[in-house]
Amino acid sequence: MRAINQITLILTIIGGLNWLSVGLAGYDVLGALSGGAGDAAARIAYVIIGLSAIWQLMPMVQSFTEGEVSAERHAHH
């Protein structure tokens, strides 16, 4: 797996876990760590995680057409 795919996958998982925390406990971990959900650092983190999710769409779509292993091997990012 390419390094960019691993990084974006990890960031997407972190974002998903943050949303789980928000949904279950009403607590925004990323917002709390950066000084508040409206803080510039939190907004930057949210944008980076969102862009990571968009990046992860490419291998997912390719896996439907080429098969998962082939899509990872021939990803043209």
Report which residue type is found at 62.
Q
Residue 31, C-beta contacts closer than 8 angstroms, at least 6 positions apart: 37, 38, 39, 42
Q: What are phi and psi of 3, to 5 degrees?
A: -60, -45
At residue 39, the pLDDT reads: 87
The confidence band for 76, taking pLDDT boundaries of 50, 70 and 90, is low
Does residue 4 carry a pLDDT above 80?
A: yes
pTM of the model: 0.75
Q: Which residues of 36-56 are buried (b: 16+ CB within 10 A; e: fewer)?
A: eeeeeebeebbeebeebeebb
DSSP 28: -
At residue 34, the pLDDT reads: 87
Domain hosting 36: range is 3-73
Q: Number of structural domains, the chain?
A: 1
